[in-house]
Amino acid sequence: MAKSRKKGKDKQPKTSLMTKLATELEVPSEILPGVFRIELQETREATVDGCKGILEYKDERIKLKLSNKTVTFAGLNLELKTFTNERVIISGYIAGIDFSE
């Protein structure tokens, strides 16, 4: 029983070292390498900092590669406003955001 509790504890998502460092130093996490940041403006626009590449691009789904994760934006009439310096701006109707390893 105790073992299974321990296993449950292990399943909690790990906080990355850089994020921990940023928290300790009280500096914005987006300035550190390998830390991504997503900013939403209602469901019309999403700004993603720390994007390493585009894995899938369709008008109802855009999948982006981040440092150690992938993020999928699902919605309607999605389009890529810009993609420069690891910054991507997605506009359209965003219905959902999904993270995966």
Partner 1 sequence: MAVLRILRYIFGYVHFRAYGGFAERFINLCAKDKIPIWDVKYFDGGITAYTMAAAEKTISSAAEKSGMIFEPIEKKGVPYFIKRYRFRFGVAIGLFLTLIFSIILSSMIWYVKVEGNEELTEEEIITELEALGLKPGVFKKGIDVKELQMTMLYKLDELSWISVNINGSTAIVEVRERNKAPEIIDRGQPSNIVAGHDGQIIKLEVYQGDGMVEEGSAVVKGDLLISGVETLKDGKVLFHRARGSAIARTERNIVSITNNGFPAKKRTSQKLKYSVYFFGIIIPLAPSVEADEWYKTNHMLMSDQTIIPVGIIRERFTSYSSGTLKLTNEQLRLVTILDFYKDQKEKLANVKEMKSSKFGIESKSDSCKLTANYILIEEIGVEKFFEVEDNRKNSNN
Q: Which residues bind partner 1 (CB under 8 A)?
A: 53-59, 78-84
CB nearer to partner 1: pick between 22 and 89: 89
CB of 82 to partner 1, least distance (A): 5
Q: Could you tell me the CA-to-CA distances from 66 to 5, 55, 90, 91 in Å, in that order? A: 31, 10, 15, 18
CB of 80 to partner 1, least distance (A): 4
Query: Shortest CA distance to 34 belongs to which of 45, 18, 53, 47?
Result: 18
CB of 28 to partner 1, least distance (A): 23
CB nearer to partner 1: pick between 12 and 84: 84
- Note whether 95 and 78 are within 8 A (CB): no
